[in-house]
Amino acid sequence: MKLYASQGYSIESMHLTERDDALDQRLDLIPVPDLANMIKRKLDEIQPSIVFTHSCGDINRDHRIMSEIVLVATRPPSSVKEIYSFDITGDWAFAQLGSFHPNVFIDITETMEAKLKDLQLYDKIELREYPHPRSLEKITALAERWGSVISVRYAEAFELIRAIK
């Protein structure tokens, strides 16, 4: 993300996949309507039918803001028919603001090995050493836990926020 107006940030130059530590934990500096419009423009361009976003109960303020922004940006009429939230391992467990209530589970047994390889490419600031909740060992344990809920080896858990059928 580039600098926004009064703080030196520009909404037009923001990229949805680019990390900028200058805005880490400071997403509240940008007005929600500006962010929602930027995301809506991108959604209008790519026309997804399913969107995944952070849990509104996440302790990370930026994640809660992003969850709100996604809900605003995907209001009907929209190509988006389903919205799911996910948990960030280690972030939502201590939140008093709300909680993550998974009700959709996806068997990832066939792709777990690839997931772990991909995570090793992930930013070392977020992926940590055991016994941190975002260590490869604990991520595996969580996938095993969610897998046990649906009687498979590994699963991902999501909370259905909205489905338009």
Number of domains in the chain: 1
CATH number at residue 103: 3.40.50.10320
DSSP per-residue letters across 101-138:
---EEEE-GGGHHHHHHHHHHS-TTTS--TTSTTSHHH
Residue 18 lies in a domain: no
Residue 24 lies in a domain: no
For the chain, percent of residues with pLDDT exceeding 70: 77
Q: Quick one: pLDDT at residue 129?
A: 81
Residue 5 lies in a domain: no
* Residue 91 structural domain: 30-163
For residue range 62-91, list pLDDT tens digits in order.
888 999 999 999 999 999 999 999 987 665
Residue 65 lies in a domain: yes
Residue 158 lies in a domain: yes
If one compares 20 and 133, the residue with the highest pLDDT of the two is 133
Residue 1 lies in a domain: no
Instruction: Report the range out of 29-33, 134-138, 154-158 with the highest average pLDDT.
Output: 154-158
